[in-house]
A and B are shown apart, each in its own frame.
Chain A
Amino acid sequence: MTMLTRRSFLATTGLTIGALGVAPRWLLRVAAQAQEKRKILIVVFQRGAADGLNMVVPFFEKRYSALRPSIAVAAPGAPNGGIDLDGRFALHPSLQPLKELWDSQRLAIIHAAGSSDPTRSHFDAQDYMESGTQGRKLEDGWLNRSVPLRRDRVSPMRAVAMGPQVPLTLRGSCGAIAVDDLSRSFQLGPPETAAVLERLYLTSSDVRLREHGKGTFDAARSLAAITKQPYTPANGAQYLGEFGRRLRQIAQLIKGDVGLEVAFADMGGWDHHTNETQQLGFLLREFGTSLAAFARDMGERMTDIVLVTMSEFGRTTAENGSGGTDHGHGNVMLVIGGMVRGGASYGEWPGLEQEQLFEGRDLAVTTDFRDVLGEVVSTHLGQNVAEVFPGHGVRASLGLLRS
Chain B
Amino acid sequence: MNRYLRSAACVAWLLIAIYAASGHAANPFDQKLSPEKRITHLLNRLAYGPRPGDIDDVRRLGVETWIRRQLYPERIPQSPLLERKLQPLGSLQLATWQVYEGYMSGPAGMMMASAMSPSRLLAADQLVTFRSGSADQRRAILMAASPAIRRQLLLSLPAAALQDLPDMQVAAFNERAAEKDRLRPPLTEILTPAQLKTLMSGTEDEKTTLLSTLSMERRQQVLRQVEPEAVPEVFRREVVTLGQPAQMPLIELIDSKLYRAIFSTRQLEELLVDFWVNHFNVFSGKGPVRTLLTSYERDAIRPHVLGRFRDMLLATARHPAMLFYLDNWQSQGPRDDETRSGLNENYGRELMELHTLGAGGGYTQDDVVAVARAFTGWTIHEPGKYGEFFFNPAMHDREQKVVLGHTLVRGGGEDDGIRVIDILARHPSTARFIARKLAQRFVADDPPLSLVERVAVTFTKTDGDLRRTMETLLLAPEFMSDGAWQAKLKSPFEFVVSALRTLDAGVDDTVPLAQKLADMGQPLYGKTEPTGYLNTSAQWASSAGLLSRMQFAWVLTAGAIPGVTVDARRLETGNAQVVTLASVFISSPDFQKR
A contacts, CB < 8 Å to B: 47-48, 69, 119-124, 139, 161, 163-166, 168, 171, 177-181, 185-190, 192-194, 196-197, 200-201, 204, 206, 208-210, 212-213, 215-216, 219-220, 268-269, 271, 273-274, 318-322, 324, 326-327, 359
Contact = CB atoms under 8 A, between A and B. Distances in A.
Nearest to A321: B342
A161 to B, nearest CB: 8
B196 interface: no
A322 B359 contact: no
A171 B583 contact: no
Contacts of B546: 201, 209, 212-213, 216
B343 interface: yes
20 contacts: A165-B540, A165-B542, A177-B544, A188-B550, A189-B550, A196-B584, A200-B588, A201-B546, A206-B486, A208-B537, A215-B543, A216-B546, A271-B529, A273-B326, A320-B342, A322-B327, A322-B331, A324-B344, A326-B345, A327-B345
Q: Which 7 pairs show the lowest CB-CB distances between chains A and B? A: A164-B521, A321-B342, A178-B544, A204-B589, A215-B543, A216-B543, A322-B330
B588 A180 contact: no
B528 A189 contact: no
Contact of A321 (B332, B349, B553): B332
Contact of B359 (A123, A209, A320, A359): A123
B341 A320 contact: yes
B225 interface: no
B544 A180 contact: yes
B263 interface: no
A209 B554 contact: no
Given A193-B580, A268-B528, A164 B541 contact: no
Given A180-B519, A193-B583, A188 B341 contact: no
Query: Contact size class for B?
Result: 35 or more
B172 to A, nearest CB: 32
B502 interface: no
B554 A120 contact: no
A190 B555 CA distance: 11
B349 A327 contact: yes
Given A164-B542, A273-B344, A326-B344, A216 B330 contact: no
Give the residue among A165, A186, A187, A319 with the most B Cβ atoms within 10 A: A165
A120 B528 contact: no
A188 B332 CA distance: 54
B554 A189 contact: yes
A217 to B, nearest CB: 9
B559 to A, nearest CB: 14
B276 to A, nearest CB: 19
B543 A326 contact: no
A48 B365 contact: no
A69 B220 CA distance: 51
Nearest to B587: A197
A161 B542 CA distance: 10
A216 B332 CA distance: 51
A139 to B, nearest CB: 8
A197 B543 contact: no
B425 interface: no
Interface string B516-548: 000111000000110100000111111111111
A164 B543 contact: no
Contacts of B580: 190, 192-193
A164 to B, nearest CB: 3
A271 to B, nearest CB: 8
A402 B507 CA distance: 60
A139 B446 CA distance: 13
A357 B159 CA distance: 50
B269 interface: no
Given A197-B550, A321-B340, A165 B545 contact: yes
Contacts of B110: none
Contacts of A193: 554, 580, 583-584, 587
